[in-house]
Amino acid sequence: MLSTAPKDRRLLVTLTNEPFQPVRLYYSIPDRASAIKSLRRLECTVNAPEEQCWHWLFEAEAAPLRFTGSYDDVPMERRPIILGRLRFPMAGSMTLQTNSIQRAIGAARFFAPHLGPESVLMRCRLVNRLFAAEEDQPDELMKTLDREVTVIDPREAEAAFTREFRDVRTKEDFERVASESLKRKLESKEDVPLVEDFRLAPEEETSDFGNLTMTLQLRLIRAMEHWRGNTELTLAALIVRTVKSGFPGGQIPEP
């Protein structure tokens, strides 16, 4: 039985009713001019020079997107909602910053066909926790994306994998070593950092960003369980639980 969060805490949610959880996606792009040309073709993206970014709005081409709340649920006086902010921090790169997991997944799927195949989603950064409505203003909480960041180096994980499996010769050896490795991770209570920055694998990604969806939804579920009081749950334990449940098609339930 999970313990519950204190009754006086209210979960901070977006205007489309998803849990507030800062996310930033990092793209490799051919050049800034071509990316902006693509954005200018869309009615749902507008230049916001006062913020030195482009706003991605919940209207026009983006209106059919479905989050926890739909476009029709947004009161007229609150429209248009800013779903995300696109910036060009340096040559050959673009970032898309948003405030929920669902919006990040929606952004990856939405912009891929508009930006074209030469614009590639390379990295992701997110805050691995949820927030109470009383903690601070959302704009201030978005700044947590740049505080105490832990950058995950894929080379370290590859080196560790090589060390663990270097003597494996048979399928039985592989299964045994994999089981022992997972057991060590579960027993160590090793978990994701508060602010996690990690490389994606675009060469392995599916057309509907299924890998990104799984990666982010698992982290959202973990964050939701921690919000509810189950703070001992690690990402590794959640993955094991998910695999054992055998969700069809690799899909995991919404938190």
Selection from 44, 27, 23, 25 nearest residue 100 by Cα: 23
Q: What distance in Å separates the CA atoms of residue 167 and residue 91, rounded to the nearest whole number?
A: 44
Contact call for residues 39 and 86 (beta carbons, < 8 A): yes
Is 250 in contact with 210 (CB distance < 8 Å)? Answer: yes
Query: In angstroms, how far is the first alpha carbon of the chain from the final one?
Result: 16
Render the burial of 189-214: b for 16+ CB within 10 Å, e for the rest: eebbeebbbbebeeeebeeebeebbb
Going by pLDDT thresholds of 50, 70 and 90, the confidence category of residue 249 is very low
- pLDDT, tens digit (0-9, with 9 covering 90-100), for 98-107: 999 999 999 9
pLDDT at residue 165 tops 90: no
pLDDT band at 244 (very low <50, low <70, confident <90, very high): low
Say if CB 68 and CB 102 are below 8 A apart.
yes
CA–CA distance, 215 with 72 (Å, rounded to integer) = 29
Range name among 114-118, 158-162, 184-188 with the lowest pLDDT average? 158-162
Quick check: pTM over 0.85?
A: no
Q: How far apart are CA 102 and CA 95, in angstroms?
A: 17
pLDDT exceeds cutoff 50 at 14:
yes
- Picking from 190, 28, 200, 67, the residue whose alpha carbon sits closest to that of residue 126 is 200
Which amino acid, residue 60?
A
Q: List the domain boundaries for the chain.
A: 23-152+180-246
